[in-house]
């Protein structure tokens, strides 16, 4: 690549970088200012003095935005959703990839078809289902279904299982190993990377979910961060921008940290999903 | 094939002569039991309910009353429904190609061997992890009509450009109105303007395309280098290589992203709900938002379910269409 | 794919997976702090019926209510009120009722009453009337109309919110207007507003005299017709009056602001407003000279702009057809018991306590509002921190107060009108927009009538 070309690429990517990271920087910048400084025109670029005690402290201690409670709610739901997805999806994927039984093909097609159905189609009737189960008012609707298998993850893991050589499981079978034994002793260890991807995706999807909690959570004490942030923004009378930006920063931060901890898993996971 | 083991390597659906052992049948169903139950409870049951309620007047507070096709006929007369449908189609038509081109372009750039590649990749990927609610809140602030940073930065640019254009226009003998209009060129009020709100929402969709970029990037890295070398030997330029090597080789990935995009555009909810609540003047009222407000805000479950059915029908139709067209342009190697 | 196996860093073993699951379950089971209900004096509550109460007042308004709640909790030892602050309460509560999980008491706005009642989402409170706890004479007329809409008592008035005109005397003086003479007609309002509007050097608006979209709480805009003599809902015929000459006049007036100042200019101006409850509130930061607001606004001025005390005035809002106050838009917070509430009896006891004159007056006093009760103590008038309490008391008791329609279709009509008004604001024809909204609403009413007929026919 010629040097000139390289500079062009750099220029294009720098522009893109401003678009992608600029808003996040401005968010943090605004969150460190006082109310008047945040709304000043022309804008104040460097907050002086830094107002952490006026913004972050105020957000965390706001009676309208019980951050620790919402963070705990979100964390519990996300962990349970991730655990449920990993457990059930790997079981079902094993059945679909490695066991021969009547109805397997039908189930696979049903699953593939159900991946085409977006959530808004089902959200209203699902509310009635959850109501009849007595789940309204709890956070069950947000994580319990994950324990019944998530089509996308089942499909992902099935593709993974298919690549595991037949001889491995055959040998184990001839040694007297049961299906459960094969799944537990051979498949799970071999598919750890894929399971990590599933856990991570399920966690992030659950953490960022907005429509689900908005529809199914009726008690403010069960709210998740996304819904709480929206209510914080739209509460009657409005919220000043510096507080909103501080709240947004706090909502985003855990996901960013998670990303840097598990960067490789993220990228590989996304890369594999597209290649199927 | 060794007899006595239950394992098969063939893909699902293809029958083999070997009979299924009942132990396998039991194990298979047992392992699949969570999902079998899941399908029944969380898919077939709600779908059935949706079909039933779509023919009823139902508020969840009183038992449903059968009204036949009333809800569907109501949709035909419903101006807001039509607006939501058109908005969603406009969004999909604009955002799908835009997203595909932008993410492919970024992927190609990110695939160039330059310094700081990893940093660029991280920066572009990161916003796709930001919850859309937070994205809406942040961009709402950036696009504030009076104190927004975007307008502040754009104003001098537009002012200068407007001045130059005005000079050019008056030189060319344009009308006085045109000249003054150009001189007063200023950033719009973004989300408060019914003409600008939709373009803004479409544009903001580009902020969260990190995942698509990564998928394309992985696809690009899977293209064998020999193909490019061969094309170069044949004297193909950069554009021709893109046209004859990259695009055909990437077509399965493009197809995957297309399908995801089609489904995704019918789910658009978070960003407009947070930023505009569907306004101003219904200019950002999306299909899912209208279903939500009919069902969860006004408790009109009948029309909400009818809309969900229509939505399902349209998506299945579009997906089928995409799969059908795929035969012509998707090359699997 | 095999390549991927080796490429992945193995960071999640079975053991960690199990730990995560176990941790999650443990967090859920043990991490959940058992809810301990405490009295204000720190005493833990045992063996009491816990009445869950959802309300949406925040900040000092919420604290005022908490005071009343605490007083109840301390006053006896059988019932404990567990207060939950809920935003978007109207929607959440309706869904909670539909989801068979309602609270025992809710605070509602008057505009939600019609829908709640028609959907049978509330428990009738007729027993209170039979016991003689409340009667027609207890509440001011419009509040009673609200609480007993269809021959049954469904709610009890809490705090009334009737609107009036607030004006900034400083800005009046600067513009050369008499600071003690508010506009008497809509035409005067317009001409004064024009003198009170100032522009900056680049043509943008610096200060505005009056704007019908301020405050920007959705819902105000659709009520403008009443100040032009319209009644949105005809109680006699049960029909909506959307496309009447009065409505057309109102919304031509409404639209005239966009033509006078330019829509983009107005949006830009309004985009820079700070939050309502802050010193950056447009009225308190001297950017808006006249504004329609409820009685509680005085409270927010006291809190955020104490130096404005005495520098602003309040008067009945002018009308196009008569003297100021010939029509008043009124709202009211009410207490109600949702249908399916688990502790109806205890909730009734709580409500009886809430509407005692002493408690209501404490609440309304702290919220700067007039009392919903006919009987008002002298001390209340004297103590109330709202300097214009006498005016609001008078306005609240006037027969000209108009409520949001009490109708099952209201929430739908409301959102239809809301987008209709936005359509008009965007510059579309007033006549055509209103006519279309009228057609849409009329068709809903026809369909509803058909449905009701069918329902009657099917039931033996």
pLDDT at C406: 85
With an 8 Å Cβ cutoff, the interface of chain C facing chain B consists of: 91, 94-95, 97-99, 119-121, 203, 263-264, 267-272, 339, 411-412, 415-416, 419, 422-423, 425-426, 436, 440, 443, 447, 451, 454-455, 458
Neighbours of A260 (CB within 10 A): 10
Query: Does residue A80 share a domain with residue A39?
Result: no
| Partner chains of A (3+ C-beta pairs under 8 Å) | B, C
List the single residue in C with minimal CA-CA distance to B142.
Answer: C271
CATH number where B302 lies: 1.10.3720.10
Query: Does residue A142 share a domain with residue A38?
Result: no
Residue B1 maps to a domain: no
- Cβ contacts (< 8 Å) between B273 and chain C: which residues? none
Residue A185 maps to a domain: yes
CB contact under 8 A, A235 and C58: yes
pLDDT at C458: 58
Query: Does residue B156 share a domain with residue B130?
Result: no
Query: Does residue B311 share a domain with residue B181?
Result: no
Contact present, B126 and B138 (Cβ < 8 Å): no
**CA A59 from centroid of its chain's CA atoms:** 24
Q: Is B9 on the interface with A (CB under 8 A)?
A: yes
pLDDT at C277: 82
- Chain A interface, best mutation among C2, C3, C5, C23, by max A CB count within 10 A: C5
Is A18's pLDDT higher than 60?
Answer: yes
Structure confidence by residue, pLDDT tens digits, C172-231: 999 999 999 999 999 999 999 999 999 988 788 999 999 998 887 766 788 899 999 999
Query: Does residue B170 share a domain with residue B130?
Result: no
How far C411 CA lies from chain B's nearest CA (Å)?
Answer: 7
Residue A154 maps to a domain: yes
CB contact under 8 A, C277 and A237: yes
Query: Does residue B208 share a domain with residue B172?
Result: no
Query: Does residue A76 share a domain with residue A150?
Result: yes
ipTM of the complex: 0.90
Query: Does residue B164 share a domain with residue B295?
Result: no
Query: Does residue A194 share a domain with residue A166?
Result: yes
Neighbours of A129 (CB within 10 A): 17
Residue A269 maps to a domain: no
Helix (H, G, I), strand (E, B) or coil at A68: helix
Query: Does residue B230 share a domain with residue B152?
Result: no
Token pair, residue A238, equals 């409005």
**Domain carrying residue B175:** 147-188
Q: Which of A76, A137, A264 sits opposite C101 (nearest CB)?
A: A137
Query: Does residue A29 share a domain with residue A107?
Result: no
Query: Does residue B239 share a domain with residue B219?
Result: yes
Residue A113 maps to a domain: yes
pLDDT at B84: 94
d(CA C277, CA C301): 9
d(CA A173, CA A167): 10
List the single residue in A with minimal CA-CA distance to B259.
Answer: A116
Residue B14 maps to a domain: no
Residue A261 maps to a domain: no
- Cβ contacts (< 8 Å) between A239 and chain C: which residues? 275
CB contact under 8 A, B138 and A19: no
CA–CA distances in Å: residue C370 to residues A28, A136, C82, C305, C385: 43, 38, 26, 22, 11
pLDDT at C30: 53
User: Looking up tokens 């999640």, which residue turns up?
Assistant: C12
Neighbours of B3 (CB within 10 A): 5
**Domain carrying residue A12:** 3-51
- List all residues of chain A from 160 to 179 with a beta carbon under 8 Å from chain C: 160, 163
Domain count, chain A: 2
Instruction: Give the pLDDT of chain B (333 residues) as one tens digit per residue.
Output: 333 444 444 444 444 557 778 888 888 889 999 999 999 999 999 999 999 999 999 988 888 989 889 899 999 988 899 999 999 999 999 999 999 999 999 999 998 888 888 889 989 999 999 999 999 999 999 998 888 899 899 989 998 998 898 888 888 887 888 888 888 888 888 888 889 999 999 999 999 998 889 888 888 888 888 888 888 888 888 888 888 888 888 888 888 888 888 888 888 999 999 998 887 888 999 999 999 999 988 889 999 999 999 999 999 899 899 889 888 888 776
Query: Does residue B44 share a domain with residue B164?
Result: no
CB contact under 8 A, A264 and C9: yes
User: Looking up tokens 């006896």, which residue turns up?
Assistant: C76
d(CA C344, CA C340): 9
Query: Does residue A230 share a domain with residue A160?
Result: yes
List the single residue in C with minimal CA-CA distance to B81.
Answer: C416
Residue B245 maps to a domain: yes
CB contact under 8 A, B61 and C458: no
d(CA C418, CA B314): 29
CB contact under 8 A, C422 and B281: yes
pLDDT at C12: 41
Neighbours of A79 (CB within 10 A): 23
d(CA A13, CA A10): 5
Query: Does residue A113 share a domain with residue A27?
Result: no
pLDDT at A77: 92
CB contact under 8 A, C17 and A86: yes
A33: left (phi over 0), alpha (psi -120 to 50) or beta: beta
**Which DSSP helix (H) or strand (E) runs through B57?**
strand B56-57
Query: Does residue A135 share a domain with residue A41?
Result: no
Domain count, chain B: 3
Within 13 Å, how many C-alpha atoms sit on residue A126's CB side? 23
CATH number where A125 lies: 1.10.3720.10
User: Looking up tokens 């003479």, which residue turns up?
Assistant: C181
Among B188, B208, B240, where does a domain finish?
B188
Query: Does residue B29 share a domain with residue B165?
Result: no
Q: Beta partners for C293? A: C164
CB contact under 8 A, A236 and C84: no
Is A82's pLDDT higher than 90?
Answer: yes
Query: Does residue B259 share a domain with residue B124?
Result: yes
Residue B3 maps to a domain: no
Query: Does residue B54 share a domain with residue B28?
Result: yes
Contact present, B296 and C90 (Cβ < 8 Å): no
pLDDT at C218: 66
Is A52's pLDDT higher than 90?
Answer: no
CB contact under 8 A, B280 and C269: no
Residue A11 maps to a domain: yes
pLDDT at B136: 94
With an 8 Å Cβ cutoff, the interface of chain B facing chain C consists of: 57, 59-62, 65, 67, 70, 74, 77, 79-80, 144-148, 184, 188-189, 192-194, 279-282, 293, 296-300
Neighbours of A134 (CB within 10 A): 12
Contacts of A215 (CB under 8 A, 6+ apart): A123, A127, B292, B296
Query: Does residue B226 share a domain with residue B215?
Result: yes
Query: Does residue A100 share a domain with residue A33?
Result: no
Residue B253 maps to a domain: yes
> What domains can be seen in chain C, in order of their start residue?
49-161+330-402 (3.40.190.10), 164-210+273-316 (3.40.190.10), 217-272+409-449 (no CATH)
Structure confidence by residue, pLDDT tens digits, C384-407: 889 999 999 998 998 889 888 888
pLDDT at B328: 84
**Which DSSP helix (H) or strand (E) runs through B194?**
none
How far B219 CA lies from chain A's nearest CA (Å)?
Answer: 7
**B to C CB pairs, distance under 8 Å:** 81
Q: Which residues of chain C have pLDDT under 50?
A: 1-13, 460
Angle C53-C54-C56 from CA coordinates, rounded to 5°: 140
Residue A253 maps to a domain: no
């Amino acid at each position: 690549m010629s040097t000139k070309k390289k500079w062009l690429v750099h220029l294009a990517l720098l522009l893109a970088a401003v678009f992608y990271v600029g808003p996040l920087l401005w968010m943090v910048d605004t969150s460190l200012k006082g109310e008047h400084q945040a709304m000043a025109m022309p804008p104040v670029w460097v907050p002086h003095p830094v107002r952490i005690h006026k913004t972050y402290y105020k957000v965390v201690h706001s009676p309208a935005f019980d951050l620790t409670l919402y963070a705990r709610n979100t964390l519990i739901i996300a962990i349970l959703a991730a655990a449920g997805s990993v457990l059930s999806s790997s079981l079902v994927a094993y059945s679909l990839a490695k066991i021969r039984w009547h109805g397997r093909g039908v189930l696979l097609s049903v699953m593939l078809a159900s991946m085409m159905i977006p959530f808004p189609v089902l959200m209203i009737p699902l509310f009635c289902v959850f109501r009849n189960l007595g789940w309204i008012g709890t956070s069950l609707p947000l994580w319990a279904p994950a324990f019944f298998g998530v089509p996308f993850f089942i499909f992902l893991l099935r593709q993974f299982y298919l690549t595991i050589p037949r001889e491995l499981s055959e040998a184990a079978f001839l040694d007297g190993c049961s299906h459960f034994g094969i799944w537990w002793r051979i498949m799970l260890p071999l598919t750890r990377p894929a399971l990590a991807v599933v856990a991570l995706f399920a966690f992030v999807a659950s953490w960022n979910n907005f429509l689900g909690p908005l529809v199914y959570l009726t008690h403010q004490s069960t709210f998740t961060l996304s819904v709480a942030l929206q209510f914080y923004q739209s509460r009657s009378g409005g919220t000043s921008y510096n507080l909103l930006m501080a709240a947004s920063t706090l909502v985003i931060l855990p996901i960013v940290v998670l990303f840097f901890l598990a960067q490789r898993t993220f990228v590989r996971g996304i890369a594999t999903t597209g290649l199927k | 094939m060794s007899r006595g083991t239950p394992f098969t390597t063939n893909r699902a659906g293809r029958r083999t002569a070997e009979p299924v052992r009942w132990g396998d049948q039991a194990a298979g169903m047992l392992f699949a039991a969570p999902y079998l139950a899941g399908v029944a409870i969380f898919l077939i049951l709600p779908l059935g309910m949706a079909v039933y309620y779509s023919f009823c007047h139902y508020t969840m507070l009183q038992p449903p009353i059968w009204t036949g096709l009333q809800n569907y006929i109501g949709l035909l007369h419903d101006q807001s429904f039509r607006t939501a449908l058109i908005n969603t189609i406009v969004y999909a038509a604009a955002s799908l190609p835009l997203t595909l081109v932008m993410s492919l372009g970024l992927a190609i750039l990110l695939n160039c061997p330059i310094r700081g590649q990893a940093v660029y990749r991280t920066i572009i990927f990161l916003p796709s992890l930001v919850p859309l609610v937070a994205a809406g809140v942040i961009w709402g602030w950036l696009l504030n009509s009076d104190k927004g940073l975007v307008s502040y930065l754009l104003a001098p640019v537009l002012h200068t450009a407007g001045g130059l254009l005005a000079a050019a226009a008056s030189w060319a003998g344009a009308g006085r109105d045109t000249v003054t209009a150009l001189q007063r060129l200023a950033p719009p009020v973004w989300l408060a303007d019914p003409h600008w709100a939709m373009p803004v929402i479409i544009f903001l969709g580009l902020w969260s395309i990190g995942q698509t970029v990564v998928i394309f990037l992985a696809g690009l890295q899977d293209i064998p280098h020999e193909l490019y070398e061969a094309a170069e030997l044949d004297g193909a330029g950069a554009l021709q290589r893109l046209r004859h090597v990259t695009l055909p080789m990437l077509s399965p990935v493009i197809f995957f992203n297309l399908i995801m995009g089609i489904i995704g555009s019918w789910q658009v909810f978070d960003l407009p709900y947070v930023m505009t609540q569907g306004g101003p003047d219904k200019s950002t009222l999306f299909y899912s938002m209208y279903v939500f407000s009919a069902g969860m805000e006004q408790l009109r479950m009948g029309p909400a379910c009818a809309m969900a059915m229509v939505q399902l029908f349209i998506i299945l139709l579009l997906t089928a269409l995409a799969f059908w067209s795929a035969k012509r342009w998707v090359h699997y190697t | 794919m095999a390549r991927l196996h080796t490429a992945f860093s193995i960071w999640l073993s079975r053991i960690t997976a199990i730990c995560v699951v176990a941790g999650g379950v443990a967090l859920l089971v043990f991490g959940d702090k058992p809810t301990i209900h405490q009295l204000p004096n720190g005493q833990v509550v045992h063996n009491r019926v816990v009445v869950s109460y959802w309300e949406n007042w925040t900040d000092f308004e919420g604290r005022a209510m908490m005071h009343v709640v605490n007083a109840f909790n301390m006053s006896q030892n059988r019932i404990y009120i567990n207060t939950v602050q809920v935003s978007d309460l109207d929607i959440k509560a309706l869904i909670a009722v539909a989801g068979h999980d309602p609270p025992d008491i809710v605070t509602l706005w008057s505009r939600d009453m019609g829908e709640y009642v028609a959907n049978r989402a509330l428990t009738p409170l007729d027993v209170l009337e039979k016991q003689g706890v409340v009667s027609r004479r207890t509440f001011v007329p419009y509040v009673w109309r609200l609480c007993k809409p269809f021959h049954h008592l469904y709610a009890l008035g809490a705090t009334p919110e009737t609107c009036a005109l607030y004006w900034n005397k400083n800005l009046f003086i600067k513009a050369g207007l008499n600071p003690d003479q508010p506009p008497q007609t809509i035409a005067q309002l317009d001409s004064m507003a024009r003198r009170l509007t100032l522009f900056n050097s680049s043509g943008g608006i610096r200060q505005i005299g009056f704007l019908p979209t301020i405050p920007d709480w959705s819902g105000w805009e659709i009520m403008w017709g009443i100040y032009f003599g319209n009644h949105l809902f005809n109680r006699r015929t049960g029909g909506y009056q959307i496309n009447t000459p009065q409505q057309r006049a109102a919304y031509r007036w409404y639209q005239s602001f966009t033509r006078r100042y330019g829509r983009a200019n107005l949006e830009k101006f309004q985009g820079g407003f700070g939050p309502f409850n802050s010193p950056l509130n447009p009225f308190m930061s001297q950017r808006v000279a006249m504004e329609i607001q409820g009685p509680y606004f005085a409270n927010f001025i006291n809190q955020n702009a104490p130096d404005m005390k005495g520098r602003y005035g309040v008067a009945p809002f002018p009308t196009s057809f008569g003297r100021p106050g010939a029509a008043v838009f009124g709202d009211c917070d009410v207490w109600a018991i949702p249908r399916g509430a688990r502790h109806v009896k205890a909730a009734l006891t709580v409500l009886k306590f809430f509407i005692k004159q002493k408690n209501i007056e404490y609440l309304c006093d702290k919220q700067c509002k007039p009392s919903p009760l006919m009987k008002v103590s002298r001390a209340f008038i004297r103590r109330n921190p709202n300097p214009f309490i006498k005016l609001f008391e008078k306005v609240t008791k006037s027969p000209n107060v108009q409520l949001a329609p009490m109708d099952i279709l209201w929430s739908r009509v409301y959102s239809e009108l809301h987008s209709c008004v936005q359509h008009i604001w965007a510059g579309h024809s007033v006549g055509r927009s209103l006519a279309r909204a009228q057609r849409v609403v009329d068709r809903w009413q026809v369909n509803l009538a058909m449905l009701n007929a069918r329902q009657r026919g099917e039931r033996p």
